[in-house]
Chain A
């Protein structure tokens, strides 16, 4: 078994125009910086990106948007990105806005082989348009579908050569559910160690879900809203 690749360029091999990608992170926290940079340099276009947020104008997925490499975003909140809003209002970008918990569960369900499920979020709103409604315990629910992606790209704190991953603090977020839902899952980690080094009790993402792993470099880990006492 060899899951270790040299760098982000090697990790994204096989990603082609028009593919669907899941990209982990919440805001700028826990985003796969190295792979995003490699995607920008690759010029791959017409991507559908499933990601809770769309980065900011000059960082994160905002970099892909700037270069018009994204055809469609599937997200829950995109408010931090002026270029995104401009492309959206100008009709240059397709966007599917999904309640955050539904988005997370659609990734988890996709990875767990659950094709569809019911949730109450969005009932009675425009999110419910054209969706099946079913009442359970007196409460209306919407039918939502599990999602998988051609590639899931996640960022972890530590990983080993078997692809086992540990996330740090709130940088876990969408990385853990998305890691399960890629036909191919790429993990970039701050520290890559030999299998057997990490405590098996502490693993968030078991290596079975991860096909490619590499140690990232030059992490900027930009803070979106630095607030101090």
Chain B
């Protein structure tokens, strides 16, 4: 069975280590905050100028001056801080953020990513995605392995405009966990009930399969 969005987030949360400063993108990546493992303390960075993102506010306590990068109202945890946008991207560009999780339309076996524009259809802008992928030490992409009509999104070359080149380190899709290596996509784990063959068929880019591939554990 392919993973749900929540399960993709849950699997990505296992990549979090105690003490990490983490930037979570909009969509599935935001859900990762719901699955931070017990005993692991991470501090979430919001590109609009905040460290220490807390849960959504209680009913009636939403503050228009306290939002995340997706413009949702949030809270700040004890020990949090606020700063301006140039300082925020200074910490991103300076490599101070340990892990960045973001969504993608397409990723290549060289780590290129397309995530911001569908020509003629969607021109919303790149926001902070290009800054994040160009500077993050460690980038995990949360995505669907194929499009609704079954076309692979793990490709040799992106068909959509790029967000960044040779930057993605790991992919957690609804079918698999994959490391992006110098040689190509290296299959690490399968979604429960999904076979290596299923993943091979759904992957257009170069897929490396070595030995037995375990099922993901939740």
Measured CB to CB, the residues of A under 8 A from B are 26-30, 52, 75-80, 85, 88-89, 95, 97, 99-105, 107-108, 119-127, 157, 167-177, 204, 221-229
Residue pairs across A and B with Cβ atoms less than 8 A apart, 14 shown, are A102-B89, A102-B130, A105-B86, A121-B134, A123-B134, A124-B112, A167-B82, A170-B50, A170-B67, A171-B64, A171-B65, A172-B84, A176-B84, A229-B56
CA of A99 to CA of B93 in the docked complex: distance in angstroms? 12
Contact with A along B155-184 (1 / 0, CB 8 A): 000000111111000000000000000000
Interface size of B as a range: 35 or more
The B interface is mostly helix, strand or loop, or mixed, namely: loop
**A75-B125, A77-B125, A223-B73 given; A99·B131 CB < 8 A:** yes
Contact present for B83 and A172 (CB under 8 Å): yes
Q: Which residue of B lies closest to A125 (CB)?
A: B162
**A101-B93, A177-B85 given; A226·B128 CB < 8 A:** no
Contact present for B93 and A121 (CB under 8 Å): yes
Contact present for A100 and B59 (CB under 8 Å): no
CB-defined contacts of B216 to chain A, threshold 8 Å = none
- Interface check B1, CB cutoff 8 A: no
CA of A102 to CA of B126 in the docked complex: distance in angstroms? 11
- Interface check B203, CB cutoff 8 A: no
Measured CB to CB, the residues of B under 8 A from A are 46-50, 55-68, 70-74, 76, 82-86, 88-90, 92-93, 112, 123-131, 134-135, 161-166
A110 CB to nearest B CB, Å: 11
Q: Which residue of B lies closest to A75 (CB)?
A: B125
Q: How many A-B residue pairs have CB under 8 A?
A: 184
CA of A229 to CA of B58 in the docked complex: distance in angstroms? 5
**A27-B71, A104-B84, A177-B84 given; A221·B56 CB < 8 A:** no
**Max chain B CB contacts within 10 Å: which of A80, A105, A223?**
A223
CA of A127 to CA of B161 in the docked complex: distance in angstroms? 10
CB-defined contacts of A80 to chain B, threshold 8 Å = 71
CA of A221 to CA of B60 in the docked complex: distance in angstroms? 15
Q: Which residue of B lies closest to A126 (CB)?
A: B161
Contact present for B65 and A30 (CB under 8 Å): yes
CB-defined contacts of B93 to chain A, threshold 8 Å = 101, 119-121
CB-defined contacts of B134 to chain A, threshold 8 Å = 119-123
Contact present for B64 and A227 (CB under 8 Å): no
CB-defined contacts of B124 to chain A, threshold 8 Å = 77-79, 85
- Partner among B56, B57, B64, B83 whose Cβ is within 8 Å of the Cβ of A28: B64
CB-defined contacts of B64 to chain A, threshold 8 Å = 28-29, 171, 221-223
Contact present for B162 and A173 (CB under 8 Å): no
